[in-house]
């Protein structure tokens, strides 16, 4: 694992050289390919070195982070044209990638906490430095204070674990089982805010709407998954108390997910709609993890991977429109099928994946999550029906509103899609729909 960290660190000087924009992108892609070829032991942690290791959960999420980081650079070509603090932007992305790589690969709980919080700083820089509206300051503050407020109890909880068992290794956590409500709340709260769970989700739409395209992509694709990753890790030693308390969180997540799905129909900002749909999907993921059964863990992991690629792709699409029309409002983004018919196909493909149509990973994840929550209690059926139905509803709402209808008279002329954009969208869509062929890897290992 150390070799990949060094490779990332050695990319940093390239950020400050001239005309190295695409070189950084290519090196991240190369690194993704190298990481894919790592031999992974399905049952246990492997590739251990210097307090770092990798199991199947880390493996998938690190590949997702590398992949999306490369695509972030690809999506931000407008920065290269304007030369707006380009070197610092690339440096920021690489630092964020270093933080994410370390978060997913460290074996020590305290180090995990450190990098989990550290990944906040480059994200904040992205939003505040390259965001579009003046409200980005407020969005940055929301992001910072929501996350920091919830993460102090996590630190206390980690110290408590160390005090009890004299070890902070994630691998040894399975030997402890705490039946303490304070422990439960402190260990879990930070991850629920990061996911985000309904009630603590207010920072997410603000951050998404104000962030530049790269910020939105990494927020949707990887930053929300940090919460899921943390939950998958810490639920192991909260099993006893979890059996008593988890039902509260499942109820909040599912009812919240259904309500947020309805809220999506009220949105008139494309980015805001996509951000709210993320909250609804993550509600299902929290529900799956909290049932603490095989299908739930598996489904939440698949759903996180699928949502990462799909949500990121949808943000790319809204940005492609924004770069041409200078607006994200649905009142102005109308009738785009007249201007970019081939882009309409990509809109359709991304929307179909978002509503969990086959053969996307989202479908696989949703089937597993429905299995898991229905076996936990049949009453969840009503909320699950609502979430699934409305997710198809708001996806179609966004698609039909943007692609059909009379186009705005404010349009004069602009160029259609360029090959870079089509490549970027296909690099989101292909793994999202081809990984289903290898779903057995995820199904076996839990």
Tokens 């992205």 sit on residue: 126
Is a pLDDT exceeding 70 seen at residue 183? yes
For 390-425, b where at least 16 C-beta lie within 10 A, e where not — what string?
A: bbbebbebbbebbbeeebeeeeeeeeebeeebeebb
Interval 334-342 mean pLDDT: 88
Spell out the domain ranges in the chain: 1-443
- Who wins on pLDDT, 257 or 48? 257
Residues composing the chain: 446
Query: In the beta sheet, which residues pair with residue 266?
Result: none
Is a pLDDT exceeding 80 seen at residue 324? yes
Position 94 scores a pLDDT of 96
Percent of the chain with pLDDT over 70: 99
Q: Rounded to whole angstroms, what are the CA distances from 261 to 69, 73, 283, 385, 392?
A: 28, 31, 10, 12, 10
Sign of CA dihedral 420, 424, 430, 431: positive
Position 107 scores a pLDDT of 93
Interval 161-186 mean pLDDT: 90
Interval 250-274 mean pLDDT: 95
Helix, strand, coil in percent for the chain, rounding step 5: 75, 5, 20
Sign of CA dihedral 95, 316, 273, 85: positive
Any idea which of 34-43, 78-87, 211-220, 303-312 has the lowest mean pLDDT? Answer: 34-43
Position 445 scores a pLDDT of 62
Any idea which of 43-47, 324-328, 373-377 has the lowest mean pLDDT? Answer: 43-47
| Element holding 46 (H helix, E strand) | strand 46-49
403 contacts 336 by C-beta, under 8 angstroms: yes
Give the helix ranges, DSSP H, for 76-135: 77-82, 86-105, 109-118, 120-130
Over residues 56-76, the pLDDT tens digits come to 889 999 999 999 999 999 999
CA nearest to 203, candidates 258, 275, 255: 275
CA nearest to 157, candidates 149, 148, 168: 168
Percent of the chain with pLDDT over 90: 78
The token duo for 209 is: 């709407």
Is a pLDDT exceeding 80 seen at residue 24? yes
Query: CB within 8 A of 33, min separation 6: which ones?
Result: none
Interval 275-303 mean pLDDT: 94
Position 410 scores a pLDDT of 73
- Who wins on pLDDT, 277 or 45? 277
- Helices and strands (DSSP H and E) totals, the chain: 20, 2
Position 446 scores a pLDDT of 55
Is a pLDDT exceeding 90 seen at residue 43? no
Q: pLDDT-based confidence at 177, cuts 50/70/90?
A: confident
Over residues 86-112, the pLDDT tens digits come to 999 999 999 999 999 999 999 999 999
Interval 31-51 mean pLDDT: 86
- Who wins on pLDDT, 123 or 174? 123
Any idea which of 221-235, 271-285, 329-343 has the lowest mean pLDDT? Answer: 329-343
Is a pLDDT exceeding 70 seen at residue 413? no
Any idea which of 135-149, 170-184, 296-310 has the lowest mean pLDDT? Answer: 170-184
Any idea which of 36-50, 89-103, 371-385 has the lowest mean pLDDT? Answer: 36-50
Is a pLDDT exceeding 70 seen at residue 230? yes
What is the rounded average pLDDT for all residues in the chain?
92
Give the helix ranges, DSSP H, for 131-223: 136-165, 181-194, 203-210, 213-218
Task: Tell me the CB-side half-sphere exposure of residue 405, using CA atoms within 13 A.
Answer: 15
pTM over 0.75: yes
Sign of CA dihedral 67, 273, 343, 215: negative
Phi, psi torsion values for 333, nearest 5 degrees:
-80, 75
Cα three-residue angle 122-311-21, rounded to 5 degrees: 50
For 196-216, b where at least 16 C-beta lie within 10 A, e where not — what string?
A: bbbebbebbbbbbbbbbbbbb
């Amino acid at each position: 694992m150390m070799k990949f960290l060094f490779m990332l660190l050695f990319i940093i000087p390239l950020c400050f050289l001239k005309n190295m924009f695409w070189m950084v992108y290519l090196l991240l892609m190369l690194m993704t390919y190298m990481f894919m070829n790592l031999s992974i032991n399905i049952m246990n942690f492997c590739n251990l070195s210097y307090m770092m290791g990798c199991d199947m959960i880390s493996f998938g999420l690190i590949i997702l982070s590398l992949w999306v980081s490369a695509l972030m650079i690809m999506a931000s070509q407008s920065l290269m044209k304007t030369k707006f603090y380009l070197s610092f932007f690339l440096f920021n992305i690489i630092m964020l990638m270093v933080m994410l790589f370390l978060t997913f690969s460290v074996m020590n709980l305290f180090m995990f906490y450190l990098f989990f919080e550290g990944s906040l700083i480059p994200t904040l820089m992205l939003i505040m430095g390259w965001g579009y509206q003046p409200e980005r300051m407020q969005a940055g503050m929301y992001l910072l204070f929501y996350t920091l407020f919830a993460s102090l109890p996590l630190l206390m909880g980690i110290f408590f674990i160390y005090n009890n068992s004299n070890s902070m290794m994630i691998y040894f956590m399975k030997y402890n089982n705490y039946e303490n409500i304070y422990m439960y709340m402190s260990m879990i709260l930070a991850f629920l805010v990061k996911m985000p769970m309904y009630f603590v989700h207010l920072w997410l739409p603000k951050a998404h709407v104000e962030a530049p395209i790269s910020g939105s992509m990494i927020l949707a694709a990887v930053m929300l998954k940090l919460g899921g990753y943390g939950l998958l890790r810490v639920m192991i030693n909260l099993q006893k108390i979890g059996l008593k308390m988890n039902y509260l969180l499942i109820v909040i997540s599912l009812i919240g997910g259904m309500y947020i799905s309805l809220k999506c129909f009220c949105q008139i900002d494309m980015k805001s709609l996509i951000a709210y749909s993320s909250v609804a999907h993550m509600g299902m993921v929290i529900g799956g993890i909290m049932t603490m059964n095989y299908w739930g863990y598996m489904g939440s992991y698949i759903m996180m991977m699928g949502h990462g690629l799909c949500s990121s792709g949808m943000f790319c699409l809204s940005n492609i429109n924004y770069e041409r029309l200078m607006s994200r409002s649905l009142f102005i983004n109308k009738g785009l099928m007249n201007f970019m018919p081939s882009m309409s196909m990509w809109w359709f493909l991304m929307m179909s994946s978002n509503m969990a149509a086959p053969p996307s990973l989202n479908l696989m994840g949703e089937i597993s999550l429905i299995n898991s929550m229905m076996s936990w209690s049949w009453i969840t059926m009503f909320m699950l029906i609502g979430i699934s139905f409305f997710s198809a509803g708001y996806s179609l709402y966004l698609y039909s509103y943007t692609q059909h209808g009379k186009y705005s008279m404010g349009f004069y002329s602009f160029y259609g899609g360029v090959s870079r954009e089509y490549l970027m969208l296909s690099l989101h869509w292909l793994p999202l729909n081809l990984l289903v062929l290898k779903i057995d890897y995820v199904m076996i290992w839990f």
